[in-house]
Structures are given as structure tokens and as C-alpha cells.
């Protein structure tokens, strides 16, 4: 008799595999950290150390948040309704100067709790004190790709830039071969990073075979600044430095013309779309349908808690689908399946993690969520993809499994003490209020 570590049964499995198979009344079996079997019924003559009854709900890959600043969950509502540059220069950067490692650890634990509770099983982070982000994610049981933000001015974490490169090298060594944590090289943006910084970061990423992640073409003000300094548009500037390639992940990518999109497709550049943040900061609408048409891997992200105010990828998917319909005045663009792919397998592909997560397939890591559909807003259900994008909410997730480990069961976090995390976050908010009043 075969004994599995975990069996999830009595639900509709949305595999998000290359054929987009949907398995009615399916069962999924996990051995260790890996999906070992899935099909339309529970295997005969099997045992399970743990069995989850999906109760007729949906079983799908965990969602992938392609761009976050997790610790900024402590800044929710701090500086709303402001342009990006004013928001950064007059609120975010000054407040961040006061942060320390414990602040970032606390903020990341808060973000991890929110993400697990709303069905996210993997996130990509760019921020400060990223070792603390990695530690908080690992403690929470979340899969992550993280990197220390690099920029020309001194950092509250590492001080001078030279130390930033040393810190990044240290992160790569420390977290090498960790089952959940991967490290990227992450210069902040073209307007905060010199050409020398960008070239060195790119060389580091290539030599260590790591992704290079950067905020890219996010606002018109950024385009104006880059053209003023270098006489080039953002992509032209990167080309002149020899940077574009399949290792590059461009966050936002809002202001692009058709020829730039074609070039990005040729280079194999990946993109993370952040619709709610782009809307809230008035940054613009990224040409995502055209990018997808050109074969660019586009994932979806929430951005940080200060420019979005939540980390719920279900609301992000809903917004992404509708935003592009109204912009193009075409209700057929960004259909539900396309958008769900952005939050699962395409998001994994964009982060370079599609070999292990993003779909439910034998041999892949067991990153799985279960949706409880026994609710008025999810009844009746004609099309599960439609429901997930247009009707479901983060609180509809009943179970979360990451790397074969059950981290949430029946809406109860198993890896974190939620009351303690929230109490610590409330204490840190007192510090934030002081920093803002002193600025």
C-alpha cells in the first residue's frame, strides 16, 4: 500500500499545466515536498498521513506575487493620494532612514500572514534588510525570491553602495540551496542607479546566474529624468549598457512603445504587472495585452502595502482583467484564464521558478491552495476561472500548502502566531508616527 504524506480530495483541480487540464472531483497526492500523483479519483490501496477534504471546492496552484516590498505593510495608509516622486522623496525615503532589521522582520511577518491567508504561496521582494525578509518568509513557510535594493545614495542597512554589493554576495552564499528562499540582484531604478551601478549589478547577476530585477518605465517623470540625463529612453539606456536579456525582470513596464515591446520580447525580458499600484499612484496603464501577444512572460504583483494597501492577489487579478478591458474598450482582452495564468504559471515563469511551482503537475513542488466555494458570492459556479478572477476573494482560501507543508488549515495559520504578529506591528506603527511627525 502506498502511503502519501498528504492527500487533497473531493474538489475540482485546476492544474494550470500546458493543457490547462481541469479534473472534476479530483484528488492530489503529495510525498514529501512534491506532487506525486493527481487524477480524477483517490488512488486505491493508499494511506495518507493527512487528508484534506476540499468539500467540492477548487484546488489550484498557490498564487505568485511577482513584486512586493513586504515590510512596507507597516506603511499602509501612511501617504495616500500622492504622485510617485513626492510619495517617495517626502514620505517613504525619509521614514525608511529610521528603519532597522527588527522593523523589517516585523513588517515582513505581517505581510507573510496576509499573503498566506489570501492564497499567495510565493512572492518576489525588493527592499532593505533583505536577510530579515528571507528569515521571515522561511519562518512563515513561504517560497520567495528576494534581493537587497541597491541605489546610489547610502542605505539604512548597508551604508555605502560598496557594502551593498558585499551584502548581496553574502545573501547569495547564505541562502544557497535553501528549499524556499532564492536571491536576486536588485538595483532600484534607472533614476536612482548610475550606469556603473547597473553594469556591476548585471555582471553580478550573470556570474551567479541570478535574476536582475529593476523598477522600469514606471512613470512619465522617470522617462523624462532618464532622457534628461542620458538622452535615451529607458530601454535604450539599458541597451547601451549591455543589460537586456532573459535574466532581466522589469517591474511595472508601464510606458513602452510598440517597438520597445518587440525588442523586449526578442531579449526575453520578463515583466511584472502591478495594476492597483499603477492606478493608485497615477502612473499609467501598462500595455500588457500587447506584451502577452508578443510572447513576453508577464506575472502580476501587488507592489508594497504603501502603494496598494493590500496584498490580496484575487483583487489584483480582478483589477487587471477589468482595467485593460476599459482601456481598450474591448471586453475580450485579458480573459479570466489569461489573468489566472499571470498569477500562477506565467508568474512562476517570469521569476524563473516554473520548473518547481506555478502549476499542479507530477514532480513539481506542492504549492497548493483550496478555495471554499460554499458561499453566496461563489454560487452557482459555471466557470471556475471566471469565479477566481471576478468573484473570489482572499478570504475564500481555506487551506494553503507550500513545499508540501500545510501552513494554513481551515483559515488558521499554522506557522505564525497571528495575534503576536499583529501586536508587534501595532507597536512598530507607533515608531512610524513619530518618524513622520519629526520629518
pLDDT at 379: 98
pLDDT at 132: 98
Spans of all domains in the chain: 2-61+365-411, 63-350
pLDDT at 420: 98
pLDDT at 42: 66
- Please state the rounded mean pLDDT for residues 109-121: 98
Give pLDDT tens digits for 380-397: 999 999 999 999 999 999
Give pLDDT tens digits for 291-303: 999 999 999 999 9
Residues in CB range of 69: below 8 A, 6 or more apart: 125, 126, 127, 303, 304, 305, 306
pLDDT at 307: 87
Cβ proximity of 376 and 98 under 8 Å: no
**46-48 and 270-273 beta bridge pairing:** unpaired
What pTM value is reported for the model? 0.96
d(CA 94, CA 106): 19
**CATH H-level, domain 2-61+365-411: superfamily:** Urease, subunit C, domain 1 (2.30.40.10)
Mean of the per-residue pLDDT values for the chain? 96
Closest by Cα among 191, 58, 67 to 125: 67
Cell numbers for 129, please give them. Answer: 534588510
d(CA 339, CA 370): 18
404: confidence class by pLDDT, cuts 50, 70, 90: very high
pLDDT at 280: 92
CATH architecture of the domain with residue range 63-350: Alpha-Beta Barrel (3.20)
Give pLDDT tens digits for 14-70: 999 999 999 999 999 999 999 999 998 766 657 899 999 999 999 999 999 999 999
Cβ proximity of 371 and 57 under 8 Å: yes
Cβ proximity of 52 and 399 under 8 Å: yes
Amino acid at each position: 500500500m502506498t502511503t502519501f504524506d498528504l492527500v487533497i480530495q473531493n474538489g475540482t483541480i485546476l492544474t494550470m499545466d500546458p493543457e490547462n487540464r481541469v479534473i472534476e472531483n479530483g484528488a492530489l497526492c503529495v510525498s514529501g515536498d512534491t506532487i506525486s500523483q493527481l487524477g480524477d479519483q483517490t488512488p486505491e490501496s493508499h494511506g495518507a498521513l493527512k487528508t484534506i477534504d476540499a468539500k467540492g471546492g477548487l484546488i489550484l496552484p498557490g498564487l505568485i506575487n511577482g513584486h512586493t516590498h513586504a515590510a512596507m505593510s507597516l506603511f499602509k495608509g501612511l501617504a495616500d493620494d500622492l504622485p510617485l516622486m513626492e510619495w517617495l522623496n517626502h514620505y517613504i525615503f525619509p521614514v525608511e532612514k529610521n528603519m532597522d532589521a527588527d522593523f523589517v522582520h516585523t513588517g515582513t511577518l505581517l505581510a507573510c500572514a496576509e499573503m498566506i491567508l489570501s492564497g499567495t504561496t510565493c512572492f518576489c521582494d525588493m527592499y532593505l534588510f533583505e536577510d530579515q525578509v528571507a528569515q521571515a518568509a522561511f519562518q512563515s513557510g513561504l517560497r520567495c525570491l528576494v534581493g537587497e535594493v541597491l541605489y546610489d545614495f547610502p542605505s539604512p542597512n548597508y551604508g555605502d553602495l560598496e557594502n551593498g554589493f558585499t551584502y548581496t554576495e553574502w545573501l547569495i552564499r547564505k541562502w544557497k540551496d535553501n528549499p524556499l528562499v532564492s536571491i536576486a540582484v536588485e538595483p532600484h531604478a534607472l533614476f536612482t542607479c548610475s550606469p556603473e551601478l547597473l553594469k556591476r549589478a548585471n555582471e553580478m547577476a550573470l556570474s551567479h546566474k541570478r535574476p536582475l530585477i529593476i523598477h522600469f518605465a514606471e512613470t512619465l517623470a522617470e522617462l523624462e529624468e532618464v532622457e534628461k540625463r542620458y538622452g535615451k529612453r529607458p530601454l535604450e539606456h539599458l541597451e547601451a549598457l549591455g543589460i537586456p536579456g532573459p535574466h532581466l525582470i522589469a517591474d511595472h513596464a508601464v510606458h513602452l512603445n510598440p517597438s520597445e515591446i518587440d525588442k523586449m520580447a526578442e531579449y526575453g525580458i520578463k515583466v511584472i504587472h502591478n495594476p492597483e499600484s499603477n492606478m493608485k499612484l497615477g502612473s499609467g496603464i501598462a500595455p500588457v495585452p500587447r506584451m502577452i501577444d508578443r510572447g513576453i512572460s508577464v506575472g502580476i504583483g501587488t507592489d508594497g502595502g504603501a502603494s496598494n494597501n493590500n496584498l490580496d492577489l484575487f483583487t489584483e487579478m480582478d483589477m487587471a482583467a477589468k482595467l485593460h478591458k476599459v482601456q481598450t474598450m474591448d471586453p475580450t482582452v485579458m480573459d479570466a484564464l489569461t489573468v489566472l495564468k499571470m498569477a500562477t504559471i506565467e508568474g512562476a515563469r517570469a521569476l524563473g521558478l516554473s520548473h518547481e511551482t506555478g502549476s499542479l503537475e507530477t514532480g513539481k513542488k506542492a504549492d497548493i491552495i483550496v478555495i471554499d466555494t460554499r458561499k453566496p458570492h461563489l454560487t452557482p459556479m459555471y466557470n471556475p476561472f471566471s469565479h477566481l478572477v471576478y468573484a473570489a476573494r482572499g478570504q475564500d482560501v481555506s487551506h494553503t500548502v507550500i513545499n508540501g507543508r500545510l501552513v494554513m488549515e481551515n483559515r488558521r495559520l499554522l506557522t505564525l502566531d497571528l495575534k503576536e504578529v499583529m501586536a508587534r506591528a501595532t507597536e512598530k506603527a507607533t515608531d512610524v508616527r513619530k518618524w513622520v511627525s519629526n520629518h
